[in-house]
Structure 1
Amino acid sequence: MSRATCATIHLGALRDNLRRLRELAGGARIMAVVKADGYGHGLERVARMLVEADAFGVACIADGQRLRAAGIRQRIVVLSGIDEAADIGEMHRLGLESTIHHASQIDWLAADRNPRPLKVWLKIDSGMHRLGFAVADVAGARARLLALPNVDRDIGLMTHFANSDVIGDAQTMAQIECFQRIASDMPGAQTLSNSAAVLGWPQARGQWIRPGGLLYGISVATGTSGADFGFRPAMTLSSKLVAINRIARGEPIGYAATWTCPEDMDIGVVQIGYGDGYPRSAASGTPLLVNGRRAAIVGRVSMDLITVDLRGHDDARVGDPVILWGPRLPVEEIAAHAGTIGYELTCGMTRRVRFLEDMD
């Protein structure tokens, strides 16, 4: 028999979240970001439900291969671009588009003899300092690309924000101004906005938005959930109670004895752990739902199991359902207890977690 740990993907939520983004996009086209296996929700199932998207953004060519094999016909942009000269042929074969963020990528294109023009997006480092051409190098990089016969003349312009989840952030404003100053003299579609910028920075909308987390109902803005902005969580992580033990006052619970029973009490054991992708960093007090009612983790998360304070749950029985996150318990809340963000949690599901689908 398989473990009880299960991730249920709510397909209707994916569809509804895309439509909600349309409402917020102000006429901009949507490049749905489905990297990291659709933020852990399953690349192909996510793309099929986001068929109304104008394009897809992926992290690597392998993702593009999977999408084309699944019958996805929309534009696909490889956000990290070509990693070596040999990638160019596969980009052509699959009809993918490449981000260009480094001079070496232009060198590879210059040496390529395929006459078919490749669609590219020039990435500008407006202040995040990860990928992209420095401001002083943008014009030269664009001129080099325009001189190549195997590059489509319609070159898009792209940047990425470092701190757009903070409304009114000075760095984000500086990045917007930097990008707009450079792009004002350059024709081509512009894309700046990630999920957080869609919500908080309408002046950064451009012709394309690139939402990721909001497609899955997840917010990264501190103290908020996707539901606060009209989005629905697309994943429920669940398991069940596999034991209930009566533990005496003063007895420690779990590895390293990090929590001690303040009274004689029932401790539940739930079949999930960091071997499934549940965060080991989730501290005592992290909430979950037992039979639909709140309880809390006590002690350290182990590889296969967690322990739960069942005070106030006198009716709990072995086999009862447990929700770790989902529509009634936002993944953002769990992430806050674990010192991370919801994206990391949904991306972290391991192979032993069963995936189910529903149309809700």
Structure 2
Amino acid sequence: MTHLDLAVPVELLAKALVDIPSVSGNEDRIADAVEAALTPLVHLEVTRLGNAIVARTHLGRPERVVIAGHLDTVPIKGNVPSEWSADGDLVGRGAVDMKAGVAVQLSLAAALTAPTRDITWVFYDQEEVEADRNGLGRIARERPDLVAGDFAVLCEPTQGVIEGGCNGTMRAEVRVHGKAAHSARAWKGLNAVHRAAPLLAVLAEHEPETFTVDGLDYREGVNAVRISGGIAGNVIPDECIVTLNYRFAPRWTLAEAQSRLEALVASSGIDGYDLVYTDLSGAARPGLDAPLAASFAESVARTGVAAPRAKQGWTDVARFGELGIPAVNYGPGDPELAHADDERCPVIEIHQCRAGLEAWLTS
């Protein structure tokens, strides 16, 4: 079993984590290492559910915060084991998304034996794959008591800036129907690919909106991300499938966002189609109006980083939102480098995030 020393400098702990391969669905080794490192800590109650580990203090504090991070990564592409760049960045798969953040969690979980708030540390599996496999979702379904709290921080990469809430996301297949025929007698059929053209025109001309929610600006987007149709080079297609992805602001409920997407499709004027949703993930409001969020923002501001901003992508803060727990994103690393072949995280950001969380949890 791989041994994790939680007392080493946090950047070395991050390197050790990157060096443990943990592609989604294969987190056994890293989960074993995290469980083994946390179990001897007498101030924590450690529970394991599959390849997810929850470690909790029970100090009788009036507030409980949940601090979570996922253990898995996207597939490795020659970037494990990790290395240090010439300018001192940690380079390797998961350095940004999100083992530097997990290292901050583990380092603080070991060091903070008497925080001013009770803490639930969550380390979960399968975040980078289908939503129904997500380890945090599994905990919420099977043991919601383990993730109950007054406020949550998800240590996703944000360059050490608090990012409130998140956009929602949905994917839908618009199936446009036609009639098959031999292409030599095309007039006998009805070309479904051609019939989808008005929808593509509406999407191309659509100008995404930006909505301000609780003081943060969320930019929306609706895009065709895939199109398919036809079975042979001499057959008029009788079906064309246009896959849409709608990223929507937390101004809207899931049902409202669906109505907005359906109205946009209908505005194209096409008929003879079906719309089938293949993925639905709600948005999360910023959560910055919660008292604990305000105190957290004050502590982070002392590290000299920028003011809170909106999270433009979807993250698991939405799962906390569904549980009625205000949540924000906060962690080291540039999210635009997540999943890149040269994924890298500056050591200074790892230290800043650790300092920001420690200051808040001990104030």
TM-score by length of 1: 0.24
Tell me the TM-score normalized by structure 2.
0.24
Structure of higher RCO (CA pairs closer than 8 Å, 6+ residues apart): 2
